[in-house]
Amino acid sequence: MSRSALRQAWLILVGLTAMTSIVATCTASADPSDNATMVAGPMLLLLALAKTRIILAHYLGLAQVPSVLRGFTVVVLLYVVLLAALYIAPVLI
Amino acid sequence: MPPLPPLENRTDDWPDDWPHEWREVSDSLRAPSILHQMPGDLMMWLLIVSELLVFGAGLAGFMAVRLSDPAGFAAAQDQLHRGAAGINTLLLVSSGLFAALAARAAEAGRPPRARLFLLLAASLGIGFLLIKSSEYADLMQRGIGTETHSFFMFYYLLTGFHAAHVAAGIVLFGVVGWSCSPTGVEMGAAFWHMVDLVWILLLPVIYLLR
């Protein structure tokens, strides 16, 4: 992994962290059952998934082995879907 | 029947009269497996996956318990410092960059540079722990402990276990920075990236999902 690729990955991570902060700030005082929080929750989890993928691909070097990176991404995606389902469940029940 | 050529021979070295199936089997035997293509040591990956599973189970457990009292969990979450958690995220992803640069420098045979990057990564890790300590101190000063609410039991357990990993990573940086072997620094950096990954998943679940 080249230095510029690592720096680029870091910049993307910082950008995603900033987006996470913006989304979280917008819903910080909202009611848990509010529609805005229902949208923001899965969005925050998707941002975490994106950050996870960048760390796996660039920091941990899995970009060299795309099939393994895909496997890890699918597992984390399924996990994020589980968390999102558990998050939304109280409103749906 | 022609004799079996040695495995290290190239495909185009196979005798012309070999059946196609034999060539395919031989090629598959000589092709590097996915495990060999993965960067770093296999044990390191086993550690990363097992740690992710442990924290993953903890966070899923947290979300499952939240089902019974979402309003209580949101009220408890309001006691946390979201801004401090955001700063800690920046510290960890930046220290991850330095750890990755350290591994690269060690591989390029530049130990002084690798040590400098390890020092920078460890410094940011110490910054993370200082912020986390002040967060714990503030909560405890307000009388918020593990028994205040089930939210805080999970909070202290998961963030405390994670902070212990951060502390272990800082010690590991000191150990691998001593000899500065490429393999050692790569393993230390990989451990740090695992700590980083856990925090990235922990942040929304504990601090942000209302």
Q: Which residues of B touch A52 (CB under 8 A)?
A: 197, 200-201
Cβ contact B38–A24 (<8 Å): no
Looking at the structure, tell me whether residues B22 and B44 fall in a common domain.
no
Q: Which residues of B touch A37 (CB under 8 A)?
A: 210
Q: How many residues does chain A have?
A: 93
Cβ contact B99–A51 (<8 Å): no
Looking at the structure, tell me whether residues B123 and B99 fall in a common domain.
yes
The rounded distance, in Å, linking the Cα atoms of B199 and B205 is: 10
- Contact indicator for A60, A9 with CB cutoff of 8 Å: no
Looking at the structure, tell me whether residues B106 and B13 fall in a common domain.
no
What is the average pLDDT value for chain A, to the nearest integer? 89
Q: pLDDT higher for A74 or B24?
A: A74
Looking at the structure, tell me whether residues B2 and B94 fall in a common domain.
no
Which domain range does residue B6 map to?
1-31
pLDDT of residue B3: 63
Q: pLDDT higher for B102 or A29?
A: B102
CA-to-CA separations, A32 to A89, B81, B210, in angstroms, rounded = 12, 18, 5
User: CB contact, 8 Å: A50 with chain B?
Assistant: no
Looking at the structure, tell me whether residues B67 and B95 fall in a common domain.
yes
pLDDT in tens, A30-58: 766 677 778 888 999 999 999 999 999 99
The total of structural domains in chain B comes to: 2
Looking at the structure, tell me whether residues B90 and B193 fall in a common domain.
yes
The total of structural domains in chain A comes to: 1
b/e burial code for range B68-90 (CB count within 10 A of at least 16 → b): eebeebbebbeebbbeebbbbbb
Q: Would you call B58 helix, strand, or coil by DSSP?
A: helix
Which domain range does residue A58 map to?
3-92
Looking at the structure, tell me whether residues B81 and B148 fall in a common domain.
yes
Per-residue pLDDT in tens (0 to 9) along chain B, 210 residues: 566 656 555 555 666 777 777 777 766 666 667 777 777 788 888 998 999 999 999 999 999 999 998 889 999 999 999 999 999 999 999 999 999 999 999 999 999 999 999 999 999 999 999 999 999 999 999 999 888 899 999 999 999 999 999 999 999 999 999 988 999 999 999 999 999 999 999 999 999 988
Q: What is the ipTM of this complex?
A: 0.92
What is the rounded end-to-end Cα distance, in angstroms, of chain B?
Answer: 72
Q: Which residues of B touch A30 (CB under 8 A)?
A: 210
The rounded distance, in Å, linking the Cα atoms of A37 and B139 is: 25
Looking up residue B69, the CATH number of its domain turns out to be 1.20.120.80
Looking at the structure, tell me whether residues B73 and B167 fall in a common domain.
yes
Which residue is listed with tokens 């599973």? B53
Phi, psi of B113 (to 5 degrees): -65, -40
pLDDT of residue A34: 72
Nearest-Cα distance to chain B for A70, in Å, is 13
The rounded distance, in Å, linking the Cα atoms of A49 and A75 is: 10
- Contact indicator for A58, A1 with CB cutoff of 8 Å: yes
C-alpha count within 13 angstroms, C-beta hemisphere, residue B166: 30
pLDDT of residue A89: 85
pLDDT of residue B12: 56
pLDDT of residue B210: 80
Whether A1 has a pLDDT exceeding 80, the answer reads: no
Looking at the structure, tell me whether residues B89 and B9 fall in a common domain.
no
